[in-house]
């Protein structure tokens, strides 16, 4: 089975994973897939949509098997319509894996050569950022502070240990509270030499 060359965008809720993924997706050679966006695009009347909505509304993680199934279907769909070309594009993934079990499950599909850890040391600032995003993007899952804090609890318990799954030498720490432009600059400074190594171009 072919494994996709992958960069993971990793960090707490509100750290800017989706923002930076969208920026990178505008650069040829990068394809961004957000697991959260995949979930939000589901028809809420469908079985998967109802199940995802029920967990998300409580700030809880969707079960691993459901998550991986939905994610794989979405990725294969993007390949089928030629939006993602694995031989040419780096897969920029955010929102997955969200726990160590998912990291183990996705090893068969992902060749993770870089993890961008968007570091968040000020939880209050991140909560404020999520509330502002809820207003601008009409995201109900970010509007309730108790749900946000529950998401942080889940992140610290379930997701943060994922960093220990990958070799320390492929993990880059990027400050997430800088401006989006500064964060993007720092990410590209990290990624460009690594991508060149894994996707060499003929001179």
- Where in the chain are the domains? 4-198
| 133 part of the active site | yes
Task: Summarize pLDDT for 108-155 with one digit per residue, the tens.
Answer: 999 999 999 999 877 777 777 777 765 566 666 556 677 778 888 888
Res. 202: pLDDT tops 60? no
Task: Summarize pLDDT for 86-102 with one digit per residue, the tens.
Answer: 988 999 999 899 899 99
User: How does residue 203 score in pLDDT terms, banded at 50, 70 and 90?
Assistant: very low
CB of 147 closer than 8 Å to CB of 53 = no
Q: Looking at residue 143, what is its pLDDT?
A: 60
Which of the residues 139, 157, 185, 196 is marked catalytic? 139
Query: Measured between alpha carbons, how far is 71 from 29 in angstroms, rounded to an integer?
Result: 21
Listed in order, strand segments (DSSP E) in the chain are: 4-11, 30-34, 90-94, 110-119, 171-175
Region class of 11: left (phi > 0), else alpha (psi between -120 and 50), else beta: left
CB of 103 closer than 8 Å to CB of 165 = yes
| 17 part of the active site | yes
| 151 part of the active site | yes
Displacement of CA 82 from its chain's centroid (Å): 21
Identify the architecture of domain 4-198 in CATH: 3-Layer(aba) Sandwich (3.40)
| 185 part of the active site | no
Task: Name the pTM for this structure.
Answer: 0.83
| 149 part of the active site | no
Region class of 65: left (phi > 0), else alpha (psi between -120 and 50), else beta: alpha
Query: Measured between alpha carbons, how far is 200 from 203 in angstroms, rounded to an integer?
Result: 9
Task: Summarize pLDDT for 65-85 with one digit per residue, the tens.
Answer: 988 989 998 899 999 999 999
Selected residue with higher pLDDT from 129 and 30: 30
Query: Measured between alpha carbons, how far is 137 from 54 in angstroms, rounded to an integer?
Result: 20
**Which whole-number Å values give the CA distances from 65 to 1, 37, 77, 183, 193, in the listed order?**
19, 18, 18, 33, 35
Q: What residues does 180 pair with on adjacent strands?
A: none
């Amino acid at each position: 089975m072919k494994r996709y060359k992958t960069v993971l965008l990793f960090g707490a809720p509100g750290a800017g994973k989706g923002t930076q993924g969208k920026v990178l997706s505008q650069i040829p050679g990068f394809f961004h897939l957000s697991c959260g966006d995949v979930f939000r695009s589901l028809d809420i009347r469908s079985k998967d949509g109802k199940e995802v909505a029920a967990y998300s509304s409580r700030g809880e993680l969707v079960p691993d098997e459901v998550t991986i199934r939905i994610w794989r279907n979405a990725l294969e769909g993007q390949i089928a319509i030629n939006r993602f070309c694995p031989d040419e594009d780096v897969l920029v993934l955010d929102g997955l894996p969200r726990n160590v079990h998912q990291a183990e499950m996705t090893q068969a599909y992902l060749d993770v050569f870089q993890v961008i850890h968007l570091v968040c040391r000020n939880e209050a600032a991140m909560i404020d950022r999520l509330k502002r995003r809820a207003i601008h993007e009409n995201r109900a899952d970010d509007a309730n502070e108790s749900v946000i804090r529950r998401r942080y609890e889940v992140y610290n318990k379930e997701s943060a240990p994922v960093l220990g799954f990958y070799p320390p030498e492929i993990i880059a720490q990027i400050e997430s509270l800088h401006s989006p432009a500064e964060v993007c600059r720092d990410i590209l400074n990290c990624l460009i030499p690594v991508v060149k190594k894994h996707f060499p171009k003929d001179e």
